[in-house]
Amino acid sequence: QQQVKQSPQSLIVQKGGISIINCAYENTAFDYFPWYQQFPGKGPALLIAIRPDVSEKKEGRFTISFNKSAKQFSLHIMDSQPGDSATYFCAAIKRSRSEKLVFGKGTKLTVNP
Amino acid sequence: DARVTQTPRDKVTEMGQEVTMRCQPILGHNTVFWYRQTMMQGLELLAYFRNRAPLDDSGMPKDRFSAEMPDATLATLKIQPSEPRDSAVYFCASGPSGTPSYNEQFFGPGTRLTVL
């Protein structure tokens, strides 16, 4: 059973446009939601994360929007650049002694120049 | 520049052979994770350790996979015997000690395994 559903699977955006990636989760016990960015041939790297007590978190051009009632969260990349082309993974975790992240299946973003 | 290192970066082997992948976590990190990445399944957690003790290996096929931490600077993932369905990229990640490290998993570059 996939606990975090991510869409779209792939996304093509023009330079300067807004990239939006959506995730939905099922387990209401999740209380921390990070996004990871992965470039080809590299491991994923933490990009930005949010806790459910806030509805939005912004870091530079990257913004997470969180809707607790809908059990959804999304990543917005403003003014998308070709260097943002990568695969993005949303994830969720229940903060406890267990540190197991549950990942979405990823979105391959291509930003055309 | 502290980073997780993994060896080998690429491994091609034949079905039935033993495969050993190694990981050196970031010095001082006490939590180590092994993930497998495939196109179909995405990122799957295979096992993880804290202070060298296995905490959860429920994601790992027990009959052929084994994970160990001989010491704090080395984690190993073994597959014996390997099968073509094991072909994937295997990532090691480490996290710092102290407060819950759920937000700080640092991934290595991965080992791309191809089993023919």
CA-based nearest residue to B93, from B29, B38, B39:
B29
Residue scoring higher pLDDT (B83 or A2):
B83
pLDDT of residue A98: 62
Number of domains chain A is built from: 1
Confidence of residue B98 (pLDDT cuts 50, 70, 90): low
Mean pLDDT of A86-106: 85
Q: For the residues of B72-87, what is the DSSP string, one character each?
A: TTEEEEEESS--GGG-
Which of B72, B67, B71, B92 is CA-nearest to residue B27? B72
- Residue B31 near chain A (CB below 8 Å): yes
What structural domains and CATH numbers belong to chain B?
5-10+17-109 (2.60.40.10)
Full domain range(s) for residue A102: 4-112
Of B31, B55, B103, nearest to A49 by CB-CB distance is: B103
Specify the CATH number for the domain of residue A36. Answer: 2.60.40.10
pLDDT tens for residues A57-87?
999 999 999 999 999 999 999 999 999 999 9
User: Which pLDDT score, from 0 to 100, does residue A22 have?
Assistant: 98
Is the pLDDT at A2 greater than 90? The verdict is no
In percent, the amount of chain A with pLDDT more than 70 equals 95
Per the model's pLDDT, the better-predicted residue between B8 and B1 turns out to be: B8
**Biggest alpha carbon distance in chain B?**
43
Q: A104 and B42 in contact by Cβ < 8 A?
A: yes
Separate counts of helices (H) and strands (E) for chain A: 0, 11
**Is residue B62 scored above 90 in pLDDT?**
no
Q: Is B68 on the interface with A (CB under 8 A)?
A: no
